Amino acid sequence: MTVGVLALLLIASLSAGAPAISIQLEGGVFKVAGWNAPSSAPARGWESVFAVYTGPADAPPLLGTYTVERATLQFHPRFPFAAGMRYRAIFRSSAGGAPIEKIFDGPPAATVAEARIESVYPSAPVLPSNILRLYVYFSAPMSRGEAAAHLHILDSKGKVLEGIFLPGEELWDPAGRRLTMTFDPGRIKRGLTSNQAMGPPIAEGKLYTLVIDRAWRDARGVPMTEGLRKTFRGGPAIRMPPDPKTWRIAPPQAGASGGLTIAFPEPMNYALLQRMIEVRGPRGVVPGTVSIGHDEMEWRFNPRDRWEAGSYRVVVDTAIEDLAGNHIGQPFDIDVFEHVTEHIATQTISLPFAITR
Amino acid sequence: MSKTVIRLAAGLFLAALVVFTTAGATDNLMPGKVDLKSAGALAFGPDGILFIGDSVAGSVMAVDTNDRTPARGATKIDVQGIDVKIAALVGVAPDQIMINDVKVNPVSKNAWLSASRGRGADAAPLIVRVDAAGAVTILPLDNVRHSSVSLTDAPVANPAARQNPRMMTITDMSYVNGNLMVAGLSNEEWSSALRSIPYPFQNAKEGATLQIWHSSHGRYETESPVRTFVPYSIAGKQYILAAYTCTPLVKIAVSDLKPGAKVKGVTIADLGSGNQPLDMIPYRKDGHDYILVANSSLGVVKLRADSLETYPAIDSPTTVDVAGVPYDKIGALKNVQQMAQLDAGDALILTGKPGTGPAWNRGAPVGPISLETIALP
């Protein structure tokens, strides 16, 4: 009976020439066309009349704001459209009747793999058994929260090493392109339960493979073009902090445009090399570009302008670290009995050199 | 009788103190758009002020939640599939919602969550409120009273360099005695200071930065970033209980936290290898003190924390650092990702299914994610 009445009403309204109600999507705005919207919201809000859903049936509708323009009700979602999402817009007339529903698809989800691993540091083939950090550079922004599933270190038999990284910790740069992984410091720091029970994360003389799966999704949700396998051997632990007295500075000639290089006797932390060393000359900080080579045992500086004759100095932040987290004047774990090092309280040290004609 | 009078007087004094310290707590907040780049660690300050750690911007934002209506009676929050609900509100698939922290407003007993809409660098930060009725709302950030403080040092020397990759991930925050304490991990250098920033914010540099050290067997000392911490009172003295990234749980007297100080925490427990404490709740039940600790690998454990003041400082090489506060594993609580105290006897936990990593490091639990109330064990 009710259905019959509704059908009759519908036929009556159609025959009266009223435009059919339809839902349209224009410029990111959902509109109810063909319905003469009142100027103010009904008691239960516009949401009771018109709402857009992306979730399951019992989930709340999308957040957004409503406007009425020329008697047309419009819904402006608060957040931009997401790739691969399906939008279900539903109009429920306050006059009753069956809801009008229309489906819209958001922009298509990306499917073409683009991201790859550009580089991994440290790059040396032998890494100290007390290695503290690993940097992975990706060519594109990546999805967070996937390192536990997709980054592993295998032993020489191909078995995944357990408990090697700080669990649950992914440190990213703001662009989402560089991941810093931290080896479990509890296994590196001497005297702790983890160190005594499990030993350092890497054993001297053993062969290992760093494996990063292709399945790691980029920020668009697409796996990489290829994974990475990098083999390295465990080396002796590094317990001595970096000592700038052992660094060799090779200054160029005056008038030259060539670079200045500093050679270290051991590999240094790649990220810190980028920003913890600078060159100061007669006119203050010398502008130029930094590049790192020779398995992070060489720091190269190319000045923007030609070198002038005069006194220069390389200024180094004492917080600069080697691969084991030792920094100038302070080892990662200080042995308070042996006093192997003097304590350096300054924040920077200076290495003078001269440019001669 | 006289006891009652003293108690009453003490109560009035405390009330006066609370009024004195909270009056004006929101006065310095200016209305406008909150320019958050990310939303991570959360902490509640006085008067419904929510502190939001923004690791990408390198700052902490204080926002006025306007959530100041005291809870009526006991609160119980239970929302199954909270990731699905948040995803539906902001129009993404549930796996694109990352919940970064959960805290309870001590006044209203509403739960506040920080989350990301998306998993990439362009993820939008979300501040989510969940009330006792289970209603999930997202705080609009376009006109909120707020103020912020920068944690970063001077800008990078070379402005031509591409976006500075250095970032300190704020891992935990807590408001203690008028100061916001901020722990973080750098993605480049190992040493990370624990900062203590006076609130209302003026300049982070005016706050104390503390080098936190850890000593094992009184012999090896390491500068150790603090991963998570909680204010705690032991025998009338104010401490913070802190968990390092290298597993031990330590106590640090707040009176030791002076600007520039080199502070050594006193180890009270070592929860073992391959594990990271994530959240801690100190509580008292049936006349005993406990600390509930959620861990990355070990699950949830309950430390029996009576007489913590008797645990001696490590000051001699013969002292063993595995002081061994006894603990019990709470096997019923699985895949706990976040934990926050709701009231004296209850806690909120955020749980999911095991992550997809190997057994020793599952990674964050995956959806559906639930926010539920449990009685403190």
Given strand A50-53, what is the order of strands in its sheet? A50-53, A86-91, A100-105
Residue A6 identity: L
Question: Could you give the CA distance from residue A318 to residue A264 in angstroms, rounded to a whole number?
Answer: 15
User: CB distance A275–B221 less than 8 Å?
Assistant: no
Contacts of A162 in chain B (CB under 8 A): 274, 358-360
User: CB distance A55–B88 less than 8 Å?
Assistant: yes
* Predicted pLDDT of residue A191: 64
Contacts of A82 in chain B (CB under 8 A): 91-93, 96, 118
- List domains and CATH numbers for chain A: 2-105 (2.60.40), 117-235 (2.60.40.1220), 244-355 (2.60.40.1220)
Q: Answer with the residue of higher pLDDT: A168 or A161.
A: A161
Q: What is the 3-state secondary structure (H, E, C) of chain B?
A: CHHHHHHHHHHHHHHHHHHHHHCCCCCCCECCCCCCCCCCCEEECHHHEEEEEECCCCEEEEEECCCCCCCCCCCCCCECCHHHHHHHHHCCCHHHEEEEEEEECCCCCCEEEEEEECCCCCCEEEEEEECCCCCEEECCCCCCCEEEEECCCCCCCCCCCCCCCCCEEEEEEEEECCEEEEEEEECCCCCCCEEEEECCCCCHHHCEEEEEEEEECCCEEEECCEEEEEEEEECCEEEEEEEECCCEEEEEEHHHCCCCCEEECEEEEECCCCCCEEEEEEEEECCEEEEEEEECCCCEEEEECCCHHHCCCCCCCCCCCCCCCCEEECCCCCCEEEEEEEECCEEEEEEEECCCCCCCCCCCCEEEEEEEEEECC
Q: Give Cα separations from A323 to A128, A136, A228, A244, B214 (angstroms).
A: 7, 15, 21, 15, 20
Contacts of B363 in chain A (CB under 8 A): 145-149, 168
Q: How far is A193 from chain B (nearest CA, A)?
A: 6
Per the CB < 8 A criterion, the answer to whether A259 and A301 are in contact is yes
Per the CB < 8 A criterion, the answer to whether B329 and B318 are in contact is no
Q: What is the CA radius of gyration of chain A?
A: 32
B311, two tokens: 């645990």
Residue % of chain A over a pLDDT of 70: 88
Flag whether pLDDT at A265 surpasses 80: yes
Residue % of chain A over a pLDDT of 90: 74
Separate counts of helices (H) and strands (E) for chain A: 5, 24
What parts of chain B have a pLDDT lower than 50? 1-23, 154-162, 314-323
Least confident of A9-13, A116-120, A196-200, B232-236: A9-13
| Residues 6 or more apart in contact with residue B12 via CB below 8 angstroms | none
Flag whether pLDDT at A154 surpasses 50: yes
Over residues A60-71, the pLDDT tens digits come to 999 999 999 999
Q: How far is B7 from chain A (nearest CA, A)?
A: 47
User: CB distance A330–B272 less than 8 Å?
Assistant: no
Closest CA to B271 of B335, B321, B224: B321
Whether residue B124 lies within 8 A of chain A, CB to CB, comes out as yes
Verdict on whether the full-model pTM lies above 0.95: no
Contacts of B85 in chain A (CB under 8 A): 55, 59-60
Contacts of B188 in chain A (CB under 8 A): 180, 269, 271-272
In chain B, which residue's Cα lies nearest the Cα of A197? Answer: B273
Contacts of B141 in chain A (CB under 8 A): none
Q: How far is B85 from chain A (nearest CA, A)?
A: 6
Q: Answer with the residue of higher pLDDT: A159 or A333.
A: A159
pLDDT category at A347 given cuts 50, 70, 90 is confident
User: CB distance A327–B189 less than 8 Å?
Assistant: yes
Question: Could you give the CA distance from residue B138 to residue B354 in angstroms, rounded to a whole number?
Answer: 27
DSSP run (H or E) holding A313? strand A310-317
Per the CB < 8 A criterion, the answer to whether B3 and B134 are in contact is no
User: CB distance B93–A82 less than 8 Å?
Assistant: yes
Contacts of A186 in chain B (CB under 8 A): 245-247, 273-274
Nearest 5 degrees, angle CA B84-CA B146-CA B337? 35
Q: How far is residue B67 CA from its own chain's centroid?
A: 19
pLDDT category at A13 given cuts 50, 70, 90 is very low
* Predicted pLDDT of residue B30: 94
User: CB distance B222–A333 less than 8 Å?
Assistant: yes
* Predicted pLDDT of residue B147: 95
Whether residue B105 lies within 8 A of chain A, CB to CB, comes out as no
- ipTM for the predicted complex comes to 0.88
Flag whether pLDDT at A5 surpasses 60: no
* Predicted pLDDT of residue A320: 95
Q: How far is residue B340 CA from its own chain's centroid?
A: 9
Helix (H, G, I), strand (E, B) or coil at A198: helix
Whether residue B133 lies within 8 A of chain A, CB to CB, comes out as no
Tokens 């959902």, located at residue: A30
User: CB distance B274–A198 less than 8 Å?
Assistant: yes
User: CB distance A218–B276 less than 8 Å?
Assistant: no
Contacts of B272 in chain A (CB under 8 A): 193-194, 197
How many inter-chain contacts (A to B, CB under 8 Å) are there? 236
Q: How far is residue A275 CA from its own chain's centroid?
A: 19
Per the CB < 8 A criterion, the answer to whether B124 and B176 are in contact is no
Which residue in the set A62, A145, A271 is minimally distant from B91, CB to CB?
A62
User: Which of B90, B130, B224 is the best residue to mutate to test the A interface, defined by the most A CB atoms within 10 Å of its own CB?
Assistant: B90
Q: How far is A321 from chain B (nearest CA, A)?
A: 7
Contacts of A141 in chain B (CB under 8 A): 120-122
* Predicted pLDDT of residue B213: 65
Question: Could you give the CA distance from residue B92 to residue A322 in angstroms, rounded to a whole number?
Answer: 42
User: CB distance B363–A63 less than 8 Å?
Assistant: no
Over residues A191-244, the pLDDT tens digits come to 666 666 677 789 999 999 999 999 999 999 999 999 999 999 999 999 899 999
Flag whether pLDDT at A190 surpasses 90: no
Closest CA to A328 of A342, A339, A314: A342
User: CB distance B363–A81 less than 8 Å?
Assistant: no
User: CB distance B363–A147 less than 8 Å?
Assistant: yes
* Predicted pLDDT of residue B216: 58
Closest CA to B52 of B236, B193, B175: B175
Closest CA to A179 of B289, B112, B305, B188: B188
Whether residue B7 lies within 8 A of chain A, CB to CB, comes out as no
Contacts of A59 in chain B (CB under 8 A): 84-85, 87-88
User: CB distance B93–A180 less than 8 Å?
Assistant: no
Whether residue B224 lies within 8 A of chain A, CB to CB, comes out as yes
User: CB distance B189–A160 less than 8 Å?
Assistant: no
| Residues 6 or more apart in contact with residue A8 via CB below 8 angstroms | none
Closest CA to B183 of B220, B218, B231, B222: B231
User: CB distance A144–B247 less than 8 Å?
Assistant: no
Residue A242 identity: P
User: Which of B33, B168, B356, B361 is the best residue to mutate to test the A interface, defined by the most A CB atoms within 10 Å of its own CB?
Assistant: B361
* Predicted pLDDT of residue B268: 78
Burial of B243-275, coded b for 16+ CB within 10 Å and e otherwise, reads: bbbbbbbbbbebeebeeeeebbbbbbbbbbbbb
DSSP conformation class of A217: B
Contacts of B169 in chain A (CB under 8 A): 171
Q: How far is A141 from chain B (nearest CA, A)?
A: 6
Least confident of A36-50, A274-288, B231-245, B354-368: B354-368
Whole-number mean pLDDT of chain A?
Answer: 89
Whether residue B69 lies within 8 A of chain A, CB to CB, comes out as no
User: CB distance A56–B278 less than 8 Å?
Assistant: no
User: CB distance A162–B98 less than 8 Å?
Assistant: no
User: CB distance A160–B358 less than 8 Å?
Assistant: yes
Contacts of A149 in chain B (CB under 8 A): 355-357, 363
Which residue in the set A60, A197, A336 is minimally distant from B273, CB to CB?
A197
* Predicted pLDDT of residue B266: 77
DSSP conformation class of A63: P
DSSP conformation class of A245: G
User: CB distance B169–A171 less than 8 Å?
Assistant: yes
